[in-house]
Structure 1
Amino acid sequence: MRCAALSIGLLGLAVLAPDLQAAASARVHERPTVTYGGLELPVPAGWRVYDLAAEPTRCVRFDEHAIYVGVPRGEQDCPARIVGRTEAVQLTPIASDGGRRRAAARRRLSSLRIEDGPSGEARIDLPEAGVRITGVYGERRDLLESTLRAASAGPGRTEAAPPEEPGTVGRRAWATGPGFDTCAAPLLSTMRAFRQAYAVANIYIGGAARGCSQYNLSASWIRSVRQYGYRLIPTYVGLQAPCTGYRTRFKAKEAAEQGRAAAGDAVARARYFGIPRKKPIYFDMENYDSDDTACRTAVMTFLHAWTRRLHELRYKSGVYSSAGSGIRDLGRATGIKKPNAVWFAHWDGKARTTGSPYLPDTWWATHRRIKQYRGGHTEKHGGVKLNVDSNMVDGLVY
């Protein structure tokens, strides 16, 4: 990689700083630097830098080492599902205070400590630089820490955040009909376009294995889409089973502790987004080796703790998983607290929630199940394209 400073303005264009172009070849051993607003951030070796002003539909994904700069202005071109996380950074604008606390910001970054937590995420607002840093980590929290400690902040200018629409609505506890899920919360204009085909959609509210940035997602966004007539499936993508290939896994001996911690963090995220008590939150437990007895036991312990803690906090418990692993194991398990509702993946192309060879119809009957029957594919509604999974809903929603 050539070394020169990348100057990425808050209005978007990424260019080589003019005074460094001629010297670039003589300085190949220096670290490249991203400049955004009043923030200067050295780029770790091997990381990519993406300017969202130049690529407004690029997917901001947290499963690869990258720095994303700016605000996604178009519909993010993401796969329908990304699970798993490594270290990555997104820089977005916030209102600036004119740089009055520049020295304090530099001290704060140089001594930054990121507390380990179930969300695997840190958000740092630097009004003196006009920048919000969202940092995520998988196995290397120390790498994220050292990356951000190398940054410096001074005065910068901001761009206006996109407007959001108000609105709210209340409905019964369950919904029926077709639904879709996609990795990143779409633009409101896309949600309006897809409303002609769908009345239920998923939202990823948090979790250490949530793979996509959620720039559009906010309490106002949720109120708006509910006003359009949508029902929502709040989903938390936390630590995964010990026997999977995902980087972000819980340890079998810590399954109960981590399940409770995930539930606590999920409720905090739900409250942040304005999702009230008595509503469901689904844990996304991706497919794992159900024949591995120790792993299966750990997953059941984790989900038992998840459900118990959600109930203590007065939320309903849901679990998303493969029909042939997590959901079947939950149905067969004894001596555990089972979720109020399930969302199972069985990509057989059949848009129905009953008749599964993995789940007897007596399990989670009567408005307590959702089936994901088709994986990622592109659909077009109202002139807008989006990569989605397809679901049939007869279950608990917000």
Structure 2
Amino acid sequence: MRHAPVRRGLPVLGGLLGVVALAPLVPGLDPPAARPPGHPPAALKEAPAVRSVAYRGVLVPVPAGWSVHRLDQDPTACVRYDRRAIYLGAHGPQPDCPARLLGGADVLHITPRAAPRPAPGPATRGPVTTGTVADARPAAAAPAHRLARLTLRPSGDHQVRVPVPEAGVTITGSYGRDPAAIQEIIRSTRLTGTWPADSWSAGARPAVWKAGPGSAGTSAAAAPYTPERRAAGSRRKHWTVGRGFDTCTAPSLRAMRAWRRSYNVTNIYIGGSMRGCAQPNLTRRWVRNVRRMGYRLTPTYVGPQAPCSMYSGRFTPRNAARKGRQVAADAMRKARALGIPEGRPIYYDMEYYNGRNARCRRAVLIFLHHWSRTVKRGDYVPGVYSSARSAPRHLAGSRGITLPKALWFADWDGRKALYGHPHIPNRMWHPHRRIKQYRGPHRERHGGVALNIDSNNVDGRVY
């Protein structure tokens, strides 16, 4: 997470470049039928220094300025959503991610399908691939007619998932402002003829894929929501006191066991269009297991940011109310999919913004009012994370709005004190409703496992 205006330019620049660099790929394209088979669209041919990467049964054009990362060669690589990149292969068990990132860039991640693949027969043309990556174009490339007619619809968390059974892969895309640029790259992707088809029948009608709530690195949507049951008359404490850490991606269960003696609270990023890292470990099973270890969690949703922030994904003064309601509804869906019951907190990550801008400040208060009211009506506890100098300060001085019930504020002064802050009156968010992030990104090692984290002092609402 970020809470100060310094060092904020790089993620923003990456997100903006992710949109600008791909803009020539979107407008003015000929319809797929007008292109000769096997030829990329005109916009891709005109773009300078475009190359292709092959993985399993697909050949993907890589626009200039994009990086390519092979996860099968570097299993500790972090799938980040703050820079334009293509990732090839499955996640490693413990990605080495930064402590905090915000997304907003256009990213593709191509992973092998989980089902085992039959061995190619003797009639297969071109080189046989077994999950390794080659940059060279295979000899026998075939146009993917279905991909060429693909339509991607916008999703709440700005992620789309496209299974390609013929090629033995699934393509996951994360986008900034809209999915048009990602759509054109996927439309220009070709089948290499080196991976046997197994489920798309010849002549089948092209499908329109739409991202589901558990796509892009989390299997949260795989199982139906089952409310947590409590015995009649029983009461459970919904707050805790202790040491907490947060990091960009949910650590492996091995790492969580190694760190348990040192920490009892950790954060999870359950969704949002500005979430900075993929979440390969974050599932219902992961949530259940870490709670059995004795951890308590701060579920956090990272959606659009303030109009006067320096991030690419922002709401506006005109749509602040609507966006606040939309992200609240999506956050509750994500929480239910992970098995987080009603009555537990969901924190909204509102990064630092320029509070001297009165119009922007009003828009933030409207957004957070509708966030808090919608989450409260859904029987969850609304919370907010932000720099102590921005949202908490303005919420404390507001009148006539629905306030969050839990506060997680950032002030990297190195002091753990939860009260006595000049911008947050002691009478508010008291008792057991505060978490302070007192130290920013750093690296710690416990039980032989090192992670990049922020540090928190906790006396607040948790799951």
Q: TM-score, normalised by structure 2?
A: 0.73
Say yes or no: does 1:119 pair with 2:138: no
Say yes or no: does 1:139 pair with 2:177: yes
> Retained in 1: the 8 A contact 2:60–2:189?
yes
Give the alignment of 1:180-199 within 5 angstroms. Answer: 180-199=245-264
Match of 2:31? Answer: none
> Retained in 2: the 8 A contact 1:169–1:226?
no
Match of 1:93? Answer: 112
CA distance in 2, matches of 1:355, 1:128: 61
Match of 1:271? Answer: 336
Matched to 1:120, the amino acid is H
Map Cα deviations across residues 101-122 of structure 1 (whole Å, 9 max, x no partner): xxxx944422222222331111
> Retained in 2: the 8 A contact 1:283–1:320?
yes
Give the alignment of 1:258-297 within 5 angstroms. Answer: 258-297=323-362
Say yes or no: does 1:253 pair with 2:318: yes
Map Cα deviations across residues 203-261 of structure 1 (whole Å, 9 max, x no partner): 01111111111111111111111111111110000000000110111111100011111
Map Cα deviations across residues 275-319 of structure 1 (whole Å, 9 max, x no partner): 122221110000001111000000000011111111222211110
Alpha-carbon spacing, 1:169–1:203, altered in 2? closer, same or farther (3 Å)? farther
Match of 1:172? Answer: 237
> Retained in 2: the 8 A contact 1:120–1:136?
yes
Match of 1:396? Answer: 461
- State, as a whole percentage, how many aligned pairs show the same letter: 48
Q: Aligned-pair RMSD on alpha carbons?
A: 2.4
Say yes or no: does 1:331 pair with 2:393: no
Say yes or no: does 1:244 pair with 2:309: yes
> Retained in 1: the 8 A contact 2:271–2:301?
yes
Equivalences, count: 358
Say yes or no: does 1:48 pair with 2:67: yes
> Retained in 1: the 8 A contact 2:283–2:338?
yes
> Retained in 2: the 8 A contact 1:86–1:140?
no
CA distance in 2, matches of 1:366, 1:172: 13
Match of 1:129? Answer: 167
Superposed displacement of residue 96, structure 1: 3.7
Match of 2:90? Answer: 71
> Retained in 1: the 8 A contact 2:77–2:92?
no
Alpha-carbon spacing, 1:47–1:364, altered in 2? closer, same or farther (3 Å)? same
> Retained in 1: the 8 A contact 2:382–2:406?
yes
> Retained in 2: the 8 A contact 1:96–1:129?
no
2:81 to 62, 68, 81: 62
Match of 1:21? Answer: none
CA distance in 1, matches of 2:196, 2:94: 27
CA distance in 2, matches of 1:345, 1:33: 43
What SS does the corresponding residue of 1:253 show, helix, strand or coil? coil
Matched to 1:135, the amino acid is G
Gaps of 5+ in 2: 1-46, 119-142, 198-216, 218-227, 231-235
Say yes or no: does 1:359 pair with 2:397: no
Map Cα deviations across residues 166-207 of structure 1 (whole Å, 9 max, x no partner): xx9995211111100001111111111111100100001111
Say yes or no: does 1:313 pair with 2:332: no
Say yes or no: does 1:377 pair with 2:377: no
| More displaced 10-residue stretch of structure 1: 84-93 or 179-188 | 84-93
Say yes or no: does 1:80 pair with 2:99: yes
Match of 2:268? Answer: 203
Alpha-carbon spacing, 1:179–1:106, altered in 2? closer, same or farther (3 Å)? same
What SS does the corresponding residue of 2:390 show, helix, strand or coil? helix
> Retained in 1: the 8 A contact 2:80–2:276?
yes
> Retained in 2: the 8 A contact 1:367–1:395?
yes
Matched to 2:359, the amino acid is A
CA distance in 2, matches of 1:252, 1:78: 33
> Retained in 1: the 8 A contact 2:246–2:268?
yes
| More displaced 10-residue stretch of structure 1: 209-218 or 281-290 | 209-218
> Retained in 2: the 8 A contact 1:78–1:184?
yes
CA distance in 2, matches of 1:64, 1:140: 16
Match of 2:6? Answer: none
Match of 2:279? Answer: 214
Alpha-carbon spacing, 1:254–1:270, altered in 2? closer, same or farther (3 Å)? same
CA distance in 2, matches of 1:346, 1:30: 44
CA distance in 2, matches of 1:29, 1:62: 24
Bigger CA radius of gyration: 2
Alpha-carbon spacing, 1:365–1:40, altered in 2? closer, same or farther (3 Å)? same
CA distance in 2, matches of 1:272, 1:180: 23
Superposed displacement of residue 29, structure 1: 7.5
What SS does the corresponding residue of 1:310 show, helix, strand or coil? helix
Alpha-carbon spacing, 1:169–1:85, altered in 2? closer, same or farther (3 Å)? farther
Matched to 1:123, the amino acid is R
Alpha-carbon spacing, 1:266–1:107, altered in 2? closer, same or farther (3 Å)? farther
CA distance in 1, matches of 2:72, 2:196: 17
> Retained in 2: the 8 A contact 1:96–1:127?
no
Match of 2:190? Answer: 152
> Retained in 2: the 8 A contact 1:96–1:156?
no
Superposed displacement of residue 321, structure 1: 0.4
What SS does the corresponding residue of 1:193 show, helix, strand or coil? helix
Gaps of 5+ in 1: 1-27, 100-104, 162-167
Give the alignment of 1:9-28 within 5 angstroms. Answer: none
Match of 2:206? Answer: none
Superposed displacement of residue 97, structure 1: 7.6
> Retained in 2: the 8 A contact 1:71–1:215?
no
